[in-house]
Each structure stands twice: as C-alpha cells, then as structure tokens.
Amino acid sequence: MGAKKASPDLLNSSFSFKSLKLKTKQQELLLRVSILGLVYVLAFIARLFSVLRYESMIHEFDPYFNYRTTLYLTEKGFYEFWNWFDSESWYPLGRIIGGTLYPGLMVTAALIYWTLRFLRFFVHIREVCVLTAPFFASNTTIVAYFFGKEIWDTGAGLVAAALIAICPGYISRSVAGSYDNEAVAIFALLLTFYLFVKAVKTGSLSWALGSAFGYFYMVSAWGGYVFIINLVPLYVLVLLITGRYSMRLYVAYNCMYILGMLLAMQIRFVGFQHVQSGEHMGAMGVFLLMQVFYFLDWVKYQLNDTKLFQTFLRITVTSAILVGGIALGVGTASGYISPWTGRFYSLLDPTYAKDHIPIIASVSEHQPTAWSSFMFDYHILLFLFPAGLYFCFKRLSDATIFIVMYGLTSLYFAGVMVRLILVATPAVCLISAIAVSATVKNLTSLLRTKQKVPQTGSTKGVGSSKSSSKVTLDQSQPFQKNGAIALLVGVFYLLSRYAIHCTWVTSEAYSSPSIVLAARGAHGNRIIFDDYREAYYWLRQNTPTDAKVMSWWDYGYQITAMGNRTVIVDNNTWNNTHIATVGRAMSSYEDEAYDIMRSLDVNYVLVVFGGVTGYSSDDINKFLWMVRIGGGVYPVIKEPDYLVNGEFRVDKGASPKMLNCLMYKLCYYRFGELVTEYGKPTGYDRARGVEIGNKDIKLEHLEEAYTTSNWIVRIYRVKPPTNRL
Amino acid sequence: MKKNSSVVVDLLLLLLAITVLATPAFSDLVLSKVERRIDVTSQIARVTKTLKVVNSGSESVSEFTLTFPKFLGNNLAYLSVSHSEGKGKAKRSLANLSVKEAHPKGMPDSISFYSVSLPKPLSKGDTLTLEVVAAFTNVLQPFPEKITQRDIHLVMLQESAQYLSPYVVESQSLSIKLPNARIESYSKLENTKVQGSEIKYGPYKNLAQYSYAPIVVHFESKAAFAVAEKLVREIEVSHWGNVQVTEHYNLVHRGAQLKGEFSRLEYQDRPNPQGVSAFRHLLARLPPRAHSIYYRDDIGNISTSQMQSDSKKTELLIEPRFPLFGGWKTFFTIGYGLPLSDFLFASEGKRFLDISFGSPMIDLVTEKLIVQVVLPEGSKDISVTTPFAVKQSHEIKYSHLDIAGRPVVVLEKNNVVPDHNQKIQVLATLQEVQNIIQKCLAAHDKLEASLRDLSRTGDIQTCKAARKSTDSLLKDLSKELRPLLASLQSFPSASQISPKVEELVAKERELQEKLMAKHTTVVEGYEKKSSGRDIENRIASQQQKIIALRQEVDDLLEFIDEI
C-alpha cells in the first residue's frame, strides 16, 4: 500500500495542471477503485504461471473427475447429469454420480461456458474449467475488500484484497488448471461469512437472506461447508455468553440458519444431514437456544420481578438443556442422528486418523502441517497475524469477534491437516491486513501531523499556532519522526519481500500440474516426463473399450478421465472394503492376487514406478499404505511381514514376502537387466537409492502390455486362465 | 500357412476363369511393348506401366481397356493414364486421359476393367504410347499376420509376371523394387533375376490375351504402415489474413499385429533395439510459411515433435505418444496457420482458394478423408473444382462472434493416397457481375432523372453534361464486366448460370442503347423547341420498349439471385 499515501499528492499536482481538480473524496474513490481493479487483474494473472510453464490443462487427481463430469453436464444437460449412474468407476459397484458429488463447481463452469456460447465465444469447455479457479480467486479479492472494510476500514479492506490475491496458501489451490471444489468454495465461504457479519451488524433480513444463499452455494460446492455450519453457531454462542445478544443477531442467525438449511437440503449429497447428522446438531442447538433467549427476554419484560424471573430462568434453562440432552440421546441411540464421522473426529483429534482410518491418513494432504509449510504458505502473515489479533482485541465489535474466532479455529484446523491451510488463509490475510493497515495508518498520521505543523507555522505565522506546535513538539518523544519513517520503510520492505516470495512460490512450487513432471537435465535444460498421459492415452487407444483397469486408487480419476476405461477403485474413497481388496491383491503373491483379479474381472493392472527416473511418489513408496488399508479389512495381510526390523526395504535385505508380492513384481519386472545410472550395478533403483533384491522376476498370470518411455507407468495384461487338461 | 493356401486357391480360381474366357470382344489392338515397374518400398504399391499400343485391325479405335485382377482392382486408390510422345529425353507426357470403370458383359468377376478414352481415334497401323500410374493400398499383406516384438516385419505381394490384358502382348517385362535386399522367398519362373533389392521377370514374348502367371514375393518391409482410418481436415478461411488448417487423424498401424508382450527394456536396448516393426514418427511436409503449429490430442499437448522450416517447405516430425506397433491405434490433431495471401487469389472480382486436398503426411494412406472448407461468414455462390470425383455437401458452422454462421463445403473421399495431393479450388463469385449491372441500372435512372429535370427547367446544357458523365460511367462498367464474363465461362461449374448472365448483360446493353436513343430524341426536341406533346409522341414507342426491357432485366437479376 505504499502507493496509497504517496499518490494523492502526485495525483493532485498532475490533475491541477489540467484544471481537472477532483475533490478529495473523489480522488480517494478513484484510487480505491483503481487499486482494486489492479488487484483483481493481479490475482488472475499470477495464477497463469501454470499455463505459461506447461499448458492449459487440468491438474492433479480430483480435478480430472470434475472435468469429466463437467464435460458430461455440458454435453448431456442437467437432468442427465443429475441422474447419472457411472459404471466406469468402482467396478462392479458403479457410482451414482448425481447423488455423490457437490455439483456447484460443475454447474458454475457449465454456466460460464453456456454464457460465453450465448455471447458467440466458442471456447472449449476445457479452457473454461482451467480458468475457473483464477476467475473465482479474483472475485475473492473483491469479497475480501468488502469484508475488510466491514470489520475495520477501507484501508484494511484494500490491504486484505492485495494480500489474499497473492497469498501462496490460496494460490496453491487456485492456479489455472486446478479445477477443484476449493476453487469456488473459498469464494463462497468468504462471501457467506461477509454477508453474515453484515447481517449481524445491520440486523437486516436481506443481508441474512444473501448469506443464506451464499451458504447454499457453499454447500453445493464443497464439503467444507461443515465449517460454516459449526463456526457460525459457535460465534453466536460466544456473542450470547459475552452478553452481546441483540435483535439483530436473532434476525440474522434465524434467517440464515432456517433458509440455509432448507436450501442445503436441495443438494442430494447433503440431503437431510442438517437434521440428522451429529456434525450439524450444534447449529440446531444454538438455534433452539436463541429461541429460549428470546422467550426469556419476553418473559423478563412481562414479569418486572427480578426474583421471580431468576427462578423462572433457572427452571427454563435446566428444562431446556434437559429436553435437548434427552432428544439428542434418544436420537443418537435410535440411530436417527448419526454420530460424528471419522473425518470430523480426525479434525478435532490429529492422532485419530492414524489409529482408526488409514485411508484418510494415507493422503499426503491430510497429514499434520509442518512449521515449514506454514512459513512457506503465509510468510510474513505468520507474524502479522498475532499483531492483527492485538488490534482486533483493542477494538472489539461483533465483526472483529467473528474474524478472531474464524482466524483461531481455522488456524487450529490448518495445523491438523495441511490442506486446511486453505480455509485459514482468508482469515489470516484479513487479520494481517488489519495489522498492516492500522500500523501504517498510525505511522503516517504521526508523520503528517509533524509535517503539517511547520507548514502552518511558516505560511500563517500566527503566534498561537506556533505555540501550539511547540507544545506538540515538546510532548512527542525524541526521534519520533525518524522512528516512524524507519518503521514505515520496514513495513514496506516486509511487504515487498512478501510479494517476491509469493511470486517465487507460485512460479516454482504451485504451478506444476503433477501430470506432467519437469526436471532439470545435466546441462540445465528442462526435461519433461509426460509418462502419465502416454500411458493413459495408450489405454484409451489400444485396449478394448470395456477393459477393467486395476490400480491404486490415486490414479482412478485420471484413468477414467484420460484413459476412458473402467476402474476398480478411484479417488472417491467411499468404499473402504473395495479399496482394501485392491490393497490386498497388490500385497499378495501373484497366484493369490490372480484369484482376486479374476473375481474382479480385471483385464489390466497399472502401477506407477519411479525407479528409473528417481520419481519418489510412486507405488513402492505408497506400498505400506496399501498393506495397512488391506490389512485393516483382511487380517491375512500383516504389516510386519513386509518389514525387516520395522524398516521398509526393497534391496536384498527385504523380507521374502515383500520381494515376491505382486506390487514388487510388477514394478521391478525386468528392471534387474537395466542399467539406470552410470557406474552402478544393474537394477539400481534411483528413487530409493538401492540395488533391488529380486532381479529374476517371472510372471505367470500377467504379461507386460505397455511401459512408458521413462518407465513411470507400467501396464500389465491379465492373461486368461489356461485350459485345464 | 492357412492364409497362404487360400491365396493360392484365389489365384487358381482366377486362372480357371481366364482359361474359360471365350474369344475377346475387344478390338484388334496389340501391345507391342509393355514395361511394368512396381515400387513397394512404402506401404503403397505404385505401379508404373509404359504401354506401346498398335492398331493392327482395320477400324480406328477410340477406347482402350485396362485390366487388373480383381484383388488388385478392389484396392486401387489412384489411377492416371497419360499418353506420351517422342522418345528418350525428348519424351514428354501430355494431358491426362479420362478413365472410367467399365463392366463389359460376359467377363468374369475376377477381373476389373477400366476404359480409357484415347485423345484421338487410333487409325489402322498407328501406334501410341500410354503411361499408366496406379497406386494400390492394402496389397502388401503382412505374413505372418501376428509377430512378436523381436520379429522382423515380412509382407507378401501377389502379382502376375505376365501382363493381364485383353490384348495380345508382344513383349513384356516386369521389375519389382523392394525396400531392401532381404527377400524371404519369391516365385521363380523362367527369366527371373534378382539384382540387389530388385526382382526382374521377363522379358516374355508373344503372350496371348489374358495371360496370367501368378507370382508371390515375400520380403521384409521397414516402412511405416500408417493408415488414417479417418482424417478430417478443416480449412478455415479468415477475413484477417489467415488460413487455419486443423487435421484430426485416426491413425492405425496396418502391418503385422503385435502378439505377446511389449517389452520396454528390449525396445530401448541400446546396441540392438528390438521392435523394428513399430514406427516412432511420421513426417509431415507443410506448406512454406506455416506458422502457429500445434500438435495435441484429446488429453493435451504432445511435446514430442520437431519442426524444421525454410523458404520452400516446413517439415514437422511428429512422434505419437507411444510407438505404434502393428494393430495399435492413436488419435491426434495437428493444426497450423497459413498466410492467406499464398492460397487465396482475388483476381477479377472473385476469390478463389487454391489448396491441396490430402494430408501433408508422407506415405500415409487415408481410408476416409473429409475436407471441410470453412468460408468467411456471408460468402455466397460457392463452387468447388477438384481434379477427381468427390462427394460434396454443405454445412453451416458457428464460430466466434458469428451471427449467421459460416458456410462449410464438405468434401469426402475414400482411399486417398499421397498421389491425390492435388489442388482443389473453391470459389465464391457472381456477386460482382450483379453489382455492375445494378450500377448500370442506377446510371439509367440518373439519365431518366436528368430528362425529368429538363422538362421542368428546360436547361439543355446540364442535361447534356449528365448524359456525358453517364456515358463514360457506363463504358467503364462494361469494361469491368468483360473479364468477369470471360472468367465465368472458363469455370465448368458455372456452366449452368453463365448463359443467363450473358443474356442479362445483352439485355442490359440493349436497354442502354434504347435509353440513349430516347435521351437524344428528347434533347433534340428541346433544342428544336418543339412542343412537349410532340416529344412525348416521338418517344412513346421507345418508352414502351424500355419499360419491357427493364422488366426483363429485373427478372433475370432475380433469377440469378435465386441460383
């Protein structure tokens, strides 16, 4: 915001030349709008690094599913999409797509696509999908501005918009191509919160209605809506406890909750969870509590007798809590209200998933966050955040209480799971913006009063003003002006470091599509490994259209979207048993695995192998999770069988079961004859840095069907059973 | 060996059919010398024949019959016959002759007949040299049909060592050019020689009609058996100086199918890589100054391609995502922009696009080629000229910022080989002729108006000036009209409209003359200061004719508009 102070003067002088004098207020408006406009554009173009570095393509895993469904939606229309039974995934179970997804993202992209078509821009749906995330990130900056304006002032709003536009924590999930639910959900989340805070502040039904619709959009877009439906009641509860109950709050919450709930029930995947699931009960409890509060208020007004009211209060409160408790108990016992899900537990207790649900723990983005990634994603915001909290507490209001609660709770969740850094990012940016804006404002006002004083003294030269200036001078501390300048320079230096850091992180770390891998060659040239697409395209072109492909679930969405083939399991991990079956097949001996594969009608098996290129996130490194998930359902599979002294090895010292299980065989088939690195023996695994233990692998029931040019993806054909003689 | 024996049975049947043949119903032509060269270095078998035809009969002959065994005739992709004059270096081939498939009665089904109409009837004792170029697809049969990755790719060619013809052949020789000297087996007849990678049969003397000596050559081929099952070429002409070509290939390797494993290890083995039967890349020769080239498929950009360009050509080396073994398929799209000025010619008021028909890929066989020429929005009166027969239809395509949509000419042809890469012309014309006539009519109106002015003001001088200017304007317009009409006649496709247009122009000229005459009469009348009624009486007859003519011209204009 360095320009903010300097440019009014600049503008003033240049504009006066043209005798086009704007009033101060108009100047301010002009500045604000142009800054916002620039931030809007900046937020968009910063996210285009991925297109520049690679190409306009869909990233990662889940976005491929979203892309595939969007394609289906635009081709077949909404009703077909809503009633879509997908037989290409979860063979032989299939998946009811319409009932098991959040349609917000796809419908948004399809609407944008149809609008563009209507305006005679015949763009490809892929381009729309690729650019949806940056577009919504830009919109988020606008919401952040209004939110900041609401909780502090316009300055804080502008700073917040600028901070969130380039904050790596947000960029990581919203670069061009990361076509995921979060892309629109963060916008919806912030919009809902902003509208709710506005509703609480004004007590207006229309704002509350807006917030209910914001909530509806959020529910339609992302499962993270649970955060809203828990944070908002929590916030209301805190306001009740701190004695900030008001009619405004009553109107805002009731309208938002009732309408939001009814609207959310229209999403099939959510359905009646708002009244049936334990995760949503808090909101309902607070809703009832609000009614009790209102009732008590009325009774108090009618009674005019404090003593009588006290007893009445005691009776009502105890009976209300009793009735609520009994209802909850009965509901839970009868199974009407479902208990909290594992995902919810794992959020509250970071160690829960590790012990109970390996499938959640196996995902890298569900790991607890390391400090380094906080630093990586927030940079200076990490230090500005506490400062912002200080300012918030200094000027406590309904709005600041909200942002403080949002910031603290989301930061806790961000600590539990890496991916939830995303949810905390808007709060961190807003609170940091308050810190920056308040500091800069204080410092500049300090400088201004100093500068003004000698000016007025010299021009007017009236004794009284002189004396008053002397008084202020005397009152101030020594070197105050220099100190303020130094501090300001420091702030701007920090902010510029932040901008540099964000740009660097965006271009280096967060713009990789992870489908195409890039590496630096020996001469500094860029080498591209396009093996994934090579393999998927081979599947698409050279296998029968009804072929079933078995792979670890990570690649399921990509195989169906790019390979257009039926998969056994995919990234929608709704059936743990099915995944465990695949895990079991991968960790069994070949003949045992063959029986499992026959029973699942598997025609092809796909494994990802990084031993030639040194690509570390391959199936061998994920193998222990397959064992754990498989073992969780089938006790035949025991983790210690694959370990030697608690250590996971693939070389000669590995356990015999490890050396002969299907996964090992498929990854290292004929690898023992290959020289990967000069001066190393044959079969040297570059990803793990060891010579493999079993070089003579014979396959009985499978044969190599295709291996990509860098061996990253290997596909095997399952042979039909031999005739019995 | 099952396949092989069935082939032999085929040949025997053919032989049987031929021996059964009764005396031919064809004329008394004699082929004094036949030279055949078969080039099988690529997947396409290109047969070049030089035939020396002598008329030994008494009547002059204007038709010549070419025959092929049915199994070749079915796979004939391209056939052109030209006649040549002179000898040695002075030899030059003249215009292509028209060829059409013939079905003479009483002939066996196992022979395909093509009748060639000769440039001029061949009278008794005259000789003529014909050059025949034919390209066959799918005649090189992979044998064995399934091979493993380590095997070499062997193919088999069946032909006749003696030239199958309805005429008597006095002397005949055949040479087969193979890709390399590795020959698995070949039929040994008398006078068979092998020189390196070439097999020679003959010369054979004095062969009877329908002589047939089946031969089979079994040899190694390293050529890419790349076949586009379907190729859609979209050629989009833009107002803004660009021709955008987008080509969608459904490619398949039609060689021997891969059986068993694909081993990456062996495929990448340094000293002796296995898997020679696969092809890694294709070469596309794009027109010079091609720009903005891209190469992608359904799931994104393909980064394995190289481009080389100079002033004469642009070469694009395309590598599919995976090597193509026998039976493997892939689909991809290449696109490039071309400068409009190289392909669109705007001479004499009409625009024509002159662009090549087939794929720029070298040695690619296209089973089904669809060319869509997308013209700018609002183009009218589209006609297409192609050197060979194609199926034509029209469509409308909507693109960016379109309201009415762009007219699309769709051309379809099956079994296309690189020999079909000839220019096609798409033109949009006629608009200009109509415009000129309209301008003439406007000039007539001006004349009439000047006359009316005259009767009101009596100012003879202004009226004369108006006449002069209209005169020169009309002369200019008729000058413009002349080349347009000439060019219109030169297009065969415009034959339907051109008489109408000519009639229109003639009528317009007549109208012009009549008007002038009327004008002169009126002006003279005024100069002589004769009374208004007198003038009116004098021009009344002329006026009637003018009105009638005007009506006719309007009708004609409307009629042409409808076309």
The conformation of residue A719, written as its DSSP 8-state character, comes to P
Q: What is the mean pLDDT of residues A648-654?
A: 90
Residue B4 binned pLDDT confidence (cut-offs 50, 70, 90): very low
Query: CA–CA separation, A101 vs B270, rounded Å?
Result: 49
CA atoms within 13 A on the CB side of B557: 19
Shortest CA distance to A152 belongs to which of A405, A384, A435?
A435
Instruction: Tell whether the model's pLDDT for residue A185 goes beyond 90.
Output: yes
Angle among Cα A223, A225, A230 to the nearest 5 degrees reads: 125
**Are the C-beta atoms of residues A595 and A642 closer than 8 Å to each other?**
no
Report the range out of A192-196, A518-522, A620-624, B1-5 with the highest average pLDDT. Answer: A192-196
**Are the C-beta atoms of residues B97 and B51 closer than 8 Å to each other?**
no
Q: According to the model, what pLDDT value does residue B458 have?
A: 63
Task: Give me the DSSP letters along B305-329.
Answer: EEEEE-SS-EEEEE--SS-B-TT-E
Task: Give me the DSSP letters along B328-362.
Answer: -EEEEEEEEEEEGGGTEE-GGG-EEEEEE-S-SBT
Residue A72 lies in a domain: no
Chain segment B224-278, per-residue pLDDT in tens: 899 999 999 999 988 778 899 999 999 999 989 998 889 999 888 877 777 777 8
Spatial CB neighbours of A239, under 8 Å, sequence gap ≥ 6: A245, A249, A398, A401
Task: Give me the DSSP letters along B358-384.
Answer: S-SBTT-EEEEEEEEEEPPTT--SEEE
Q: According to the model, what pLDDT value does residue A320 have?
A: 86
Kindly identify which residue of chain A lies nearest to residue B253, measuring between CA atoms. A542
Chain segment B346-400, per-residue pLDDT in tens: 766 677 888 888 888 888 999 999 999 998 887 877 888 888 888 999 998 888 8
Q: Phi-psi category of A19—alpha, beta or left, where left has phi over 0 and alpha has psi -120 to 50?
A: left
Length of chain A: 725
Kindly identify which residue of chain B lies nearest to residue A529, measuring between CA atoms. B303
Residue A486 lies in a domain: no
Residue A351 lies in a domain: no
Name the residue facing B303 among A122, A530, A562 (closest C-beta).
Answer: A530
Q: Which residues of A417-436 are buried (b: 16+ CB within 10 A; e: fewer)?
A: bbbbbbbbbbbbbbbbbbbb
User: What is the rounded end-to-end Cα distance, in angstroms, of chain B?
Assistant: 61
Shortest CA distance to B159 belongs to which of B203, B200, B206?
B200
**Which residue has tokens 């002598």?**
B54
Shortest CA distance to B451 belongs to which of B537, B520, B371?
B520
Instruction: Tell whether the model's pLDDT for residue B87 goes beyond 60.
Output: no
Q: Phi-psi category of B179—alpha, beta or left, where left has phi over 0 and alpha has psi -120 to 50?
A: alpha
Chain A CB contacts of B299 under 8 Å are: 533, 536-537, 540, 562
**Which residue has tokens 């100047």?**
A27
Q: What is the mean pLDDT of residues B310-330?
A: 89
| Distance from the B292 Cα atom to the nearest Cα atom in chain A, whole angstroms | 15
Query: CA–CA separation, A391 vs A376, rounded Å?
Result: 25
Q: What is the mean pLDDT of residues A238-253?
A: 93
Name the residue facing B330 among A541, A562, A707 (closest C-beta).
Answer: A541
* SS3 (DSSP) at A526: strand
Q: According to the model, what pLDDT value does residue A463 have?
A: 42
* SS3 (DSSP) at A707: strand
Could you count the other beta carbons within 10 Å of the beta carbon of residue B458?
10
Residue A574 lies in a domain: yes
Q: What is the mean pLDDT of residues A330-340?
A: 84
| Distance from the A551 Cα atom to the nearest Cα atom in chain B, whole angstroms | 19
Instruction: Tell whether the model's pLDDT for residue B462 goes beyond 80.
Output: no
CA atoms within 13 A on the CB side of B346: 5
Instruction: Tell whether the model's pLDDT for residue A330 goes beyond 50.
Output: yes
Shortest CA distance to B67 belongs to which of B162, B173, B176?
B162
Name the residue facing A705 among B262, B399, B402 (closest C-beta).
Answer: B262
Instruction: Tell whether the model's pLDDT for residue A230 goes beyond 80.
Output: yes
**Residue A585 lies in domain:** 528-718
**Are the C-beta atoms of residues A189 and A218 closer than 8 Å to each other?**
yes
Q: Please indicate if any CB of chain A lies within 8 Å of the CB of B95.
A: no
Partner-chain contact A541 B329, CB within 8 Å:
yes
**For the whole model, what pTM was predicted?**
0.83
Residue A102 lies in a domain: no
Q: What is the overall mean pLDDT for chain B? A: 80
Q: What is the mean pLDDT of residues A453-457?
A: 45
The conformation of residue A562, written as its DSSP 8-state character, comes to I
**Are the C-beta atoms of residues A120 and A399 closer than 8 Å to each other?**
no
For residue A421, what are its two tokens? Answer: 């850094």
Partner-chain contact B263 A670, CB within 8 Å:
yes
Shortest CA distance to A208 belongs to which of A259, A245, A247?
A259
Instruction: Tell whether the model's pLDDT for residue B431 goes beyond 60.
Output: no
Q: According to the model, what pLDDT value does residue B210 have?
A: 84
Indicate the helix (H) or strand (E) that contains A713: strand A713-718
Q: What is the mean pLDDT of residues A376-381?
A: 93
Chain segment A547-587, per-residue pLDDT in tens: 999 999 999 999 999 999 999 999 988 888 999 999 999 99
Query: CA–CA separation, B282 vs B359, rounded Å?
Result: 12
Q: Please indicate if any CB of chain B lies within 8 Å of the CB of A541.
A: yes
What φ, ψ does residue A175 adopt, rounded to 5°? Answer: -75, 160
Residue A251 lies in a domain: yes
Chain segment A404-438, per-residue pLDDT in tens: 999 999 999 999 889 899 999 999 999 999 999 99
Instruction: Tell whether the model's pLDDT for residue A265 goes beyond 60.
Output: yes
Q: What Å distances lie between residue B137 and A310, B141, B326, CA to CA?
A: 101, 10, 16
Residue A510 lies in a domain: no
Query: CA–CA separation, A402 vs A605, rounded Å?
Result: 51
Q: What is the mean pLDDT of residues A338-348?
A: 80
**Are the C-beta atoms of residues A531 and A515 closer than 8 Å to each other?**
no
Instruction: Tell whether the model's pLDDT for residue A187 goes beyond 90.
Output: yes
Chain segment B20-29, per-residue pLDDT in tens: 454 445 667 8
Q: According to the model, what pLDDT value does residue B555 have?
A: 76
Q: Please indicate if any CB of chain B lies within 8 Å of the CB of A707.
A: yes
| Distance from the A704 Cα atom to the nearest Cα atom in chain B, whole angstroms | 5
Chain segment A41-58, per-residue pLDDT in tens: 999 999 999 999 889 999
Q: According to the model, what pLDDT value does residue B101 have?
A: 83
Chain segment B200-226, per-residue pLDDT in tens: 988 888 888 888 888 999 999 888 899
Q: Please indicate if any CB of chain B lies within 8 Å of the CB of A700.
A: no
Q: What Å distances lie between residue A178 and A49, A50, A143, A162, A185, CA to CA?
A: 12, 10, 21, 21, 13
| Count: domains in chain A | 2
Helix%, strand%, coil% for chain A, nearest 5 = 65, 5, 30
Note the ipTM here.
Answer: 0.84
Which of A292, A317, A333 is the last residue in one of the domains? Answer: A292
Q: According to the model, what pLDDT value does residue B430 have?
A: 45
| Distance from the B470 Cα atom to the nearest Cα atom in chain A, whole angstroms | 46
Q: Which tops the pLDDT comparison, A12 or B261? A: B261
Instruction: Tell whether the model's pLDDT for residue A65 goes beyond 90.
Output: yes
The conformation of residue A139, written as its DSSP 8-state character, comes to H
Q: According to the model, what pLDDT value does residue B457 have?
A: 67
Q: Please indicate if any CB of chain B lies within 8 Å of the CB of A537.
A: yes
Please count the residue pairs, one from chain A and one from chain B, whose beta carbons lie less than 8 angstroms apart: 66
Instruction: Tell whether the model's pLDDT for residue B133 goes beyond 60.
Output: yes
Name the residue facing A706 among B260, B262, B399 (closest C-beta).
Answer: B262
Q: What is the overall mean pLDDT for chain A? A: 89
Q: Which of A56, A539, A540, A541 to mutate to test the interface with B (most CBs of B within 10 A)?
A: A541
Length of chain B: 563
The conformation of residue A720, written as its DSSP 8-state character, comes to P
For residue A434, what are its two tokens? Answer: 């308050």
For residue A315, what are its two tokens? Answer: 């009776």
B468 burial type by CB count under 10 A (0-12 exposed, 13-18 middle, 19+ buried) = exposed
Q: According to the model, what pLDDT value does residue B362 have?
A: 87
Partner-chain contact B398 A122, CB within 8 Å:
yes
Query: CA–CA separation, B177 vs B38, rounded Å?
Result: 6
Query: CA–CA separation, B455 vs B522, rounded Å?
Result: 9
Partner-chain contact A707 B399, CB within 8 Å:
no
CATH code of residue A579: 3.40.50.12610
Partner-chain contact B302 A530, CB within 8 Å:
yes
Q: Please indicate if any CB of chain B lies within 8 Å of the CB of A703.
A: yes
What φ, ψ does residue B240 adopt, rounded to 5°? Answer: -95, 30
Q: According to the model, what pLDDT value does residue B328 have?
A: 93
Instruction: Tell whether the model's pLDDT for residue B336 goes beyond 50.
Output: yes
Which of A292, A308, A342 is the last residue in one of the domains? Answer: A292
* SS3 (DSSP) at A649: coil
Indicate the helix (H) or strand (E) that contains B181: none
Query: CA–CA separation, B234 vs B246, rounded Å?
Result: 5
Residue A338 lies in a domain: no
* SS3 (DSSP) at B245: strand
Partner-chain contact B261 A705, CB within 8 Å:
yes
Angle among Cα B8, B13, B18 to the nearest 5 degrees reads: 125
Partner-chain contact A711 B398, CB within 8 Å:
no
Q: Which tops the pLDDT comparison, B182 or A147? A: A147
Task: Give me the DSSP letters along A579-641.
Answer: HHHHHHHHTSBHHHHHHHHHHTT--EEEEE--TTTT--SSHHHHHHHHHHHHHHH-TTS-GGG
Query: CA–CA separation, B227 vs B75, rounded Å?
Result: 14
Which of A276, A292, A308 is the last residue in one of the domains? Answer: A292
CA max distance for chain B: 110
